[in-house]
Amino acid sequence: MKITDYIGAQARIGAEQSQKAGWRKLLVGAAALARKNPAELVSMVSKLAQTEAFENERLDGWTDLDEIDSETPQKFDVCDLRIWIKLAEEADVAAVPAKEVARLSHDELEVLLGRVQLPKKLRETITKGLKEGLEAGNTASGSDAELGKAVFDRFDAAKEEAEELQINAAETFAKMESALDEVPSDWMVRTHLAGSNNLKALVGCGLMTRGDVTAKVQENFEIGGGWVRAGNRRLIDFSDPRFLETGIGGHKPFVSYLARPWAPAGRFHEAEDLHRANTPIAGRGVWPAEWRVFVRAGQVTGVANYYGWTGDGATAENAWNAVEAAAAAQDIVDLAEHKNLAGAYMNQDFIRNGGRDKETIEILDRDWPEDRMHCTLDFLESDKGLVFLEAGPGHMPGGGGHPCAFAGQGVAEGGRSIIADCEGVAYLAMPHVHLGEPKTWHHGETEGCIDSWEDAVVLARNHATFTPRAERFLERLGLSFEAECGMEP
């Protein structure tokens, strides 16, 4: 078996097993809680209902691609690639294109996946636990038991809901199967929110440098970038674990599937793969040169090597590309803010409105105001120059974008937070930082790993002259070449 086949299969199996294990843990835990303390189970169900109501209310206020109105302040899903590509195009920033080839409502997706039914044995256990708890006087009133029944009543209604939706599963499946008939086989498929689990696994391990690399799981079945092939026909992988994980959490109730051409990298970084270290398949890999740009309150603060364990560190070429990526990102963000847009991320909405973590709320209100743009934007050094890939939430208190090579910058060892400063240019993670172990994410020696903007600019000038876009960005930072170097550019 090829290593790509092995890793692709293991990534898929591992993700699916994790999902199933999490579901089993949730249900078994509910059963145990029903036996021990039904009142607490009732409270949990009530809180879940409140959370769902809050989320739906917030989502109703988020604008969609065709609803953007520059005259009024609006929020949009900061993970929505469709909107980001539109902004990049309007800002005259080169981007890897994407076209919608299919769309599923959550109802259609649930019909395809099969409605989840609460196992009969587990239902009986929960029912028994609630009954025994009530008889023992463990709940305040009989009305609590009625609310607790929602744990399984919701599943009872599943079949009726599916019938009421009048969704033809065969027709919906055919829509997903025919969506790729005109799409080249070396294109990848992703949702408007995330790339596929297989793509993430193979690229992350430095094993996918072309769009036609696949993982052959068994004879006549292989997994590609967001699609599966059974026999000779490709099907959008609507059951991909990462597609499902991102699709169900804090986003509009639909999933848009986008086909994108594979953008060949213009440069690669080589290194030992930290994901495979200390395993029988340990070894070196190659990763495309990519840069993550960090934005706080509408201003680019830093740029990091996306694969922070790879590359040659502080070189003139790396510095030049980092500054150019920052400048392109700034133009996109400036256009978004000119249009009165702010990226929304449900995790932060919950924190700001939950009222429990007062310290985090104060930090968010002070440094991350709701009406400004906070995000990360990713760029690839393609064979045609820098191109915009995708964007997502900022690296913020309460969760968001990964800090990449900035991990640990400015973080106190043993502190309550691992949120890095993300300021300047990070070429490599600091020597003591292991990107797979957040406990190592604290400040340390930065030499050769992280530069200030001033040092990065001086270094970059040894590679090439900056574009006018980058010169405008540096002026905004207050960095003129003459002032820093005492010589003409």
Query: Looking at residue 477, what is its pLDDT?
Result: 93
SS3 label, residue 125:
helix
**DSSP letters for 217-228:** EETTEEE-SSEE
Nearest 5°: phi and psi at 230? Answer: -115, 110
Please list, in sequence order, all residues whose beta carbon lies within 8 angstroms of the beta carbon of residue 154, skipping any fewer than 6 positions away.
none
- Mean pLDDT value across the chain: 78
Query: Looking at residue 209, what is its pLDDT?
Result: 55
Query: Looking at residue 297, what is its pLDDT?
Result: 95
333 versus 246: the higher-pLDDT residue is 333
The CA–CA distances, whole Å, from 158 to 155, 167, 176, 253, 393 equal: 5, 13, 23, 17, 33
Q: Which two tokens stand for residue 363?
A: 């930090």
Query: Looking at residue 30, what is its pLDDT?
Result: 58
Does the structure show a pLDDT above 80 at 269? yes
The CA–CA distances, whole Å, from 425 to 315, 326, 446 equal: 11, 10, 11
Distance between CA 161 and CA 152 in Å, rounded? Answer: 14
Task: For residue 157, name the pLDDT band (cuts at 50, 70, 90).
Answer: low
pLDDT tens for residues 71-115?
A: 888 999 999 999 999 999 999 999 999 999 999 888 888 777 764
Beta strands in 96-140 (DSSP E): 99-105
Query: What average pLDDT does range 447-474 have in this prediction?
Result: 96
Query: Looking at residue 119, what is its pLDDT?
Result: 52
Distance between CA 352 and CA 362 in Å, rounded? Answer: 9
Query: Looking at residue 489, what is its pLDDT?
Result: 35
Query: Looking at residue 143, what is its pLDDT?
Result: 46
**DSSP letters for 281-342:** T--EEEEE-EEEEEEETTEEEEEEESSTT-S-SS-HHHHHHHHHHHHHHHHHHHHHHHTTEE
Query: Looking at residue 7, what is its pLDDT?
Result: 35
Query: Looking at residue 287, what is its pLDDT?
Result: 84
Distance between CA 314 and CA 386 in Å, rounded? Answer: 19
Q: Which two tokens stand for residue 8?
A: 């692709």
Does the structure show a pLDDT above 60 at 55? yes
Q: Which of 392, 389, 408 is nearest to 400 (CA)?
A: 392
Q: Containing H/E element for 132? A: helix 120-135
Most confident of 153-162, 245-254, 350-359, 401-410: 401-410
Query: What average pLDDT does range 283-292 have in this prediction?
Result: 84
SS3 label, residue 346:
helix
pLDDT tens for residues 288-341?
A: 899 999 999 999 999 999 999 999 999 999 999 999 999 999 999 999 999 999
State the pairing for strand pair 215-218/450-451.
unpaired
465 versus 68: the higher-pLDDT residue is 465
Task: For residue 42, name the pLDDT band (cuts at 50, 70, 90).
Answer: low
pLDDT tens for residues 315-326?
A: 999 999 999 999
Query: Looking at residue 1, what is its pLDDT?
Result: 41
Query: Looking at residue 135, what is its pLDDT?
Result: 58
Query: Looking at residue 232, what is its pLDDT?
Result: 76
Task: For residue 432, name the pLDDT band (cuts at 50, 70, 90).
Answer: very high
Query: Looking at residue 2, what is its pLDDT?
Result: 44
284 versus 292: the higher-pLDDT residue is 292
Q: What is the DSSP letter of 459?
A: H
Does the structure show a pLDDT above 80 at 281? no
Query: Looking at residue 314, what is its pLDDT?
Result: 96
Distance between CA 178 and CA 230 in Å, rounded? Answer: 13
Query: What average pLDDT does range 254-269 have in this prediction?
Result: 90
Q: What is the DSSP letter of 465?
A: P
Q: Which two tokens stand for residue 440?
A: 């190592």
Query: Looking at residue 166, what is its pLDDT?
Result: 63
Query: Looking at residue 106, what is its pLDDT?
Result: 84
Query: Looking at residue 68, what is its pLDDT?
Result: 84
β-bridge mates for residue 225, sequence order? none
